[in-house]
Amino acid sequence: MKKKIDLLIASVFVVLMLTVSCISDLGNYTYSDINEIKISGINDEYNVNMGIENLKISPQITMTRYEGTIPGDRFSCYWILADGSVLDTLSRNFELDAVLDYPPASYTVYFKMRDNETNILWKQKTVVTVGTPYTKGFMVLGENALTGNVELETISMSGADTLVYGDVLKNSGLPTLKNPIKVLHTGKSTYNPKLWVMTGTGSYHLDLLSMKSNLSMSFGTIRLLPSVTGEEEHVVEQFPHICAYDGKTAYDYYRGYITDKGNLYYTSPLFMGDFYDYPHNCTIKFTDPDAVFYKAAPYAMHYIKSSMSGLVWYDTDNDRFLVDKSAVGDKSTELADKATDPFPWNNKAYDRKLVYAENTFNTDGGSTNGNSFAIMKSTTVGDGYIYKFYASSTPVKRGAYTVPASLAPNFSKASLYAISSLRTIILYVYEGRLYAYNYNPGYEQNVDLTQYIGDDPVTMVRFDTQSQPALDYIYIATHNGVTGGRLRKFAFGKDLDNIVLTPHTYFDFNGLCKIKHISWRAAK
């Protein structure tokens, strides 16, 4: 027992001696602060166009123990781009000035600065999104006012600045096209995305990066069966449309087309391929030998905000609305009317015809996914009619409004229409002049908007249901022979009792083609 106690005392003595020795050794070393580097002046994110724009970044440096030239011989600098399989040195200079010729994507870029005296590395990172001039922005379709040839232009917002690129189709590989109809990107979905240019002499999809195309990039190559009419047919409407700033649609697994022959094609799911067999514009099974294919108007009416419950379309042969209840169905269904309904689905007996239709974010009557509107005209009197409904597999009528010719004499004769999601207003163009009609019962009024946009003829008007749908902005295109096409952005004034347009000065572009249609694109 005594040996164990002696051993414990000896161990404690050794520990105490070592501790004293370490404390007394503190004075044998010299300590000094390192040169600390702080990097600033680098934004959290940048945008550049692939192979075109220079990415320029000038870091700001502060140091605690160095006052010489920056960077100087003492320091080594590196700009490193990283993204999974990609790891590349962009530059060894202190300031970055480089063209990024990388596929469109978001990359992490690191700035690294090594102090060669201390061998300590300091770094700062940023995210750089590489796009093409066509990846993000407004696609503008129109025609050359002198030749009548179709032109496609883009107001590019994919780089550091907003830039306009003209006549994209010039080197596309397509022949000269006439009579522009629409330009539509199918959306952000990774399943067979396409960018369509639709015209009266043919509709083609373009390569999403190079904007190249050829005659084989048409609807005929994705239609599995011959046309029911035996004739070549071209796309004049694609659905669903983009409905969000990031380029998303409400449903990415379904897609449909309406052709110039009035055929309605609808497919699901897209991951099996963007291919189409029989059209759905019939009321008995489309493979039945007795099936009759009625001519569909070029408007697809459906939910704008969520997965499509059903598709409402208009049969121009019989002046009636029908519903296609399912993308995997084989026919459309006739709709019945009741005497107490606000408007009829079947319009032939009322001598009414469809002139325009549009899907909106309007939620009146509990339509959480957005109401659709149809503008009708009488074939016997000058009045117009507005139908509002929820376009589901069982469509619900929400309201109807008569537009008397005595108040808005040219409403039913208009060449263009645009329907607000947030206010009871429809814009229309008659002989180049823009009007606004308020259909709110008891507050009806018709207003000439020339004082806000000038005397140049209006060639296009659209509410923004794509890039900023919650704000209900208006895009108006005009044209004159001197300055060409002009595209401007407007908002309604806050006074609900008066129709006033307020321009957005930062969105005003001149020298464009004679604009017929615009749409938003925000992804490959």
Q: What pLDDT shows up at residue 83?
A: 84
Indicate the average pLDDT of the chain. Answer: 90
Architecture of domain 37-131: Sandwich (2.60)
- Residue 49 contacts residue 131 (beta carbons within 8 Å): yes
What the block records as the tokens of 397 is: 């009528």
Q: What pLDDT shows up at residue 25?
A: 47
- Residue 136 contacts residue 159 (beta carbons within 8 Å): no
Closest-CA residue to 398 (of 418, 416, 424, 427): 424
Token pair 């409402």: residue:
312
**pTM assigned to the model:** 0.83
**pLDDT for 262-306, tens place per residue?**
999 988 777 778 889 899 999 999 999 999 999 999 999 999 988
Closest-CA residue to 57 (of 67, 47, 66): 47
Q: What pLDDT shows up at residue 40?
A: 94
Helix, strand, coil percentages in the chain from 3-state DSSP, rounded to 5? 10, 40, 50
Query: What is the DSSP secondary structure assignment for residue 223, as one 8-state letter?
Result: B
Which band of pLDDT confidence, cut at 50, 70 and 90, is reported for residue 102? Answer: confident
What the block records as the tokens of 289 is: 């030998």
pLDDT at 7 exceeding the cut of 70: no
| Mean pLDDT value across residues 181-203 | 93
- Residue 40 contacts residue 68 (beta carbons within 8 Å): no
CA distances from 361 to 186, 358, 463 (A): 19, 10, 11
CA atoms within 13 A on the CB side of 16: 6
> In whole angstroms, what is the distance from residue 270 CA to residue 328 CA?
12
Closest-CA residue to 76 (of 109, 111, 38, 114): 114
What would you measure as the largest C-alpha separation in the chain, in angstroms?
Answer: 125
**pLDDT for 223-235, tens place per residue?**
988 777 778 899 9
Mapping DSSP to helix (H, G, I), strand (E, B) and coil, where does residue 288 land? Answer: coil
Q: What pLDDT shows up at residue 50?
A: 84
Q: What residue ranges do the domains of the chain occupy?
A: 37-131
Q: Kind and range of the H or E element at 510? A: strand 501-512
pLDDT at 10 exceeding the cut of 50: no
Residue percentage of the chain with pLDDT more than 70: 94
> In whole angstroms, what is the distance from residue 136 CA to residue 142 CA?
19
Token pair 């509990």: residue:
366
How far out from the chain centre does Cα 339 lie? Answer: 41
**pLDDT for 17-66, tens place per residue?**
444 444 444 444 445 578 888 999 999 999 888 887 889 999 999 998 88
Q: What pLDDT shows up at residue 22?
A: 44
Which band of pLDDT confidence, cut at 50, 70 and 90, is reported for residue 2? Answer: very low
Q: What pLDDT shows up at residue 31?
A: 52
What the block records as the tokens of 330 is: 């084989």
Query: What is the DSSP secondary structure assignment for residue 227, as one 8-state letter?
Result: -
